[in-house]
Amino acid sequence: PVRNEALGLDELHREITAVLEPWGRPYEVLVIDDGSTDESFAKLSAIQAADSRWRVIRFRRNFGQTAAFSAGFAHARGRLIATSDGDLQNNPADIPSMVARLDAEDLDIVCGWRRDRKDAFVSRLLPSMMANRLISWATGVRLHDYGCSLKVFRADVVKPLKLYGEMHRFIPAIASEQGVRIAEVVVDHRARKHGSSKYGISRTIRVILDLLTVKFLLSYSTRPVQIFGLVGLTMAVPGVLILLYLSFVKLFEEQSIANRPLLLFGVLLVFTGVQLLTLGLLAELQARTYHESQNKPTYVIREIREASERSDTLVETARV
């Protein structure tokens, strides 16, 4: 993804070419112009005209980094997909070693860890450290640096993913639902040479809100009634007990309960609990509609081994 990075694009092209060309593996570079208002697209057009391995996708306006990654995943043609920022802070020289580890250990995702990060402490490092710990705790996928864009994926892992909001940073966590194998490696991180960062401390709030969505999708997307129903019963049962107590007081002790706040509290608990239970049942219907309308299975197959129909030789299918 690129937005208003015209000053560094020629250097970005030189660095990527210097790393990937001698490597000897076929590659393509997809650059997503995310609504740049400077000369970024003109620079990218010139680079693409001179180097056919580069492909440029231009958005009509700024849609954000998550949308840019989604477009890149959709248009990528390789077996492996490496993601990186376009601001020269990620070092392309790390890509071959990350790919080598992915192949050697049969991993699905290799994530970069900017251990020696060259960013401002208060506005970037501190919020990032807090977010990384919170995301690791909530999702169960423990990484030091969720915000590092330098990652390598198997294409069959990320192409099916639907990303919204700021969810590009949660890709390892979202993909963990498929049972993927993830590793993290230390990568080089460089100070920004040109332009200014597009992110500030206010982004932390959006990340936390997206984290709630990711946590729900990971834990309850196929059984939403369990979360809504649990909260609903937790509220409804005490409400029923309160109303039973007040009914006993009214009927057998002949005390007035109309002016008691406890009566309103009990009614509130019961009504809220019933509403949450109903919401859970409706969510169950939506979950089934979502999976069945797309013929989307609730499982993911890594590979299938079976005997050939024409012989007893065991054959292995390609990775699913």
For the chain, 320 residues long, give each residue's pLDDT as a single digit of tens: 999 999 999 999 999 999 999 998 999 999 999 999 999 999 999 999 999 999 999 999 998 888 999 999 999 999 999 999 888 889 999 999 999 999 999 999 999 998 887 766 666 667 778 888 888 888 888 888 888 899 999 999 999 888 877 788 888 888 887 788 999 999 988 887 776 665 555 566 777 777 777 777 777 777 788 888 889 999 999 999 999 999 998 888 888 888 888 999 999 999 999 999 999 888 888 877 766 676 666 666 666 767 765 545 544 444 44
Q: 279 is written with which tokens?
A: 């919401």
The CA distances from residue 291 to 138, 225, 228, 286, 299, in Å, are: 25, 16, 20, 9, 11
β partners of residue 183: 110
d(CA 44, CA 11): 12
Is the pTM here over 0.75, yes or no? no
* Nearest alpha-carbon partner for 111 in 66, 147, 75: 147
The CA distances from residue 94 to 63, 91, 111, 282, 315, in Å, are: 28, 6, 11, 47, 35
Residue 103: half-sphere exposure toward Cβ, Cα within 13 Å:
9
List of residues 6+ apart from 126 with CB closer than 8 A: none
Output the CA angle 201-168-221, nearest 5 degrees.
110
Q: 33 is written with which tokens?
A: 């112009």
Output the CA angle 20-26-27, nearest 5 degrees.
65
Between β-strands 54-58 and 80-83, what pairing exists: parallel, antiparallel or unpaired? unpaired
List of residues 6+ apart from 312 with CB closer than 8 A: none
